[in-house]
Structure 1
């Protein structure tokens, strides 16, 4: 996150902008949110918003950076150790700990641009470098890692019909061993 003023008024304004944005995320798709609506809800004028952000995308980028940092804190050491099951389990634990807004940003189809940007940043990070160094096909590895989130998203959409431990175990099995890893024995 950028370095911000310690001034109480500035902190209150930024908090109000963020709170209002989160409320709008829960109510609307991103392309339906306007700066005018955001500033009205935050109780500030547009000029005040533009003192802090150049656009709504700038605010979103700041939120993305915070989430990327949180994800890397949760799973970075597992990635460095090339512990794929540890990455998956702790990523799912991270997703489970997310608030309603974060889950919508990361799991809702209307916010796929947000998820894609977060994913790209995570996968470009140092802890994930070795995942790509071990292959001549980094785009396939990227697609494979993206499937981890889609498994979680599908689990959410399906009403969480299997327990969390089974989800993490089976997601690890299928990602590590392909379809052969989840065949009935």
Structure 2
């Protein structure tokens, strides 16, 4: 049993070292510039050790985004299933606004967008499995509605970050909620 705990501790320390190194690197460089070699040097681990945990750097990006996703699911799942869209919008913007710098960069920087966009689409699917106000529409129409909501929300967030968050968060939530709600309400 003591050996198992020691092994678990070593694995956890390695995971922590990898996570710390990748978060620093994300803040400093584009996705294409991050290499396993540099990551392992920063984390003070051997390359083979990295490959025991991940198949590639992209898998590490996906792992980080998966952690962010799980945190978001926890936040959004606190709302009642039939919460109005404006409250879902509020949770999304409050959640994204409080992310650490590495997460903000993962969500906004062009080099990471492929990974981030996948996260946002999965988030939308999660939201719709809980409550789907668009169930009366065909599957294809729902795809269009959900894509509109997802892409618009993400790009509003990205623009807000690009503008150095000069619009106060409460104003951003109100403005985006109005824009998104009126766009969706016009369908009914």
The corresponding residue for 1:148 is: 153
Cα root mean square deviation, aligned: 2.2
Alpha-carbon distance in structure 1 between the residues aligned to 2:13 and 2:79 = 37
**CA deviation after TM superposition for structure 1 residue 16, in Å:** 0.5
Q: How does 1:77-96 map to 2 (within 5 A)?
A: 77-78=78-79, 80-96=81-97
Cα distance per residue 1:23-53 (max 9 Å; x no partner): 1111111111111111111111111111111
Q: How many residues are paired up? A: 176
The corresponding residue for 2:3 is: none
**CA deviation after TM superposition for structure 1 residue 9, in Å:** 1.5
The corresponding residue for 1:41 is: 42
The corresponding residue for 1:157 is: 162
Alpha-carbon distance in structure 2 between the residues aligned to 1:83 and 1:167 = 17
Q: How does 1:59-138 map to 2 (within 5 A)?
A: 59-78=60-79, 80-125=81-126, 127-129=127-129, 130-136=132-138, 137-138=141-142
Cα distance per residue 1:47-70 (max 9 Å; x no partner): 111111122222222212211111
Q: Which runs of 5+ in 1 are unaligned?
A: none
Q: Which runs of 5+ in 2 are unaligned?
A: 1-5
SS, match of residue 77 in structure 2: helix
Alpha-carbon distance in structure 2 between the residues aligned to 1:11 and 1:179 = 45
Alpha-carbon distance change, 167 to 43 in structure 1, aligned in 2, over 3 angstroms: same
List, as ranges, runs of 4+ consecutive aligned residues in structure 1 with deviation greater than 6 Å.
none
Alpha-carbon distance in structure 2 between the residues aligned to 1:162 and 1:23 = 27
The corresponding residue for 1:21 is: 22
Alpha-carbon distance change, 123 to 6 in structure 1, aligned in 2, over 3 angstroms: farther
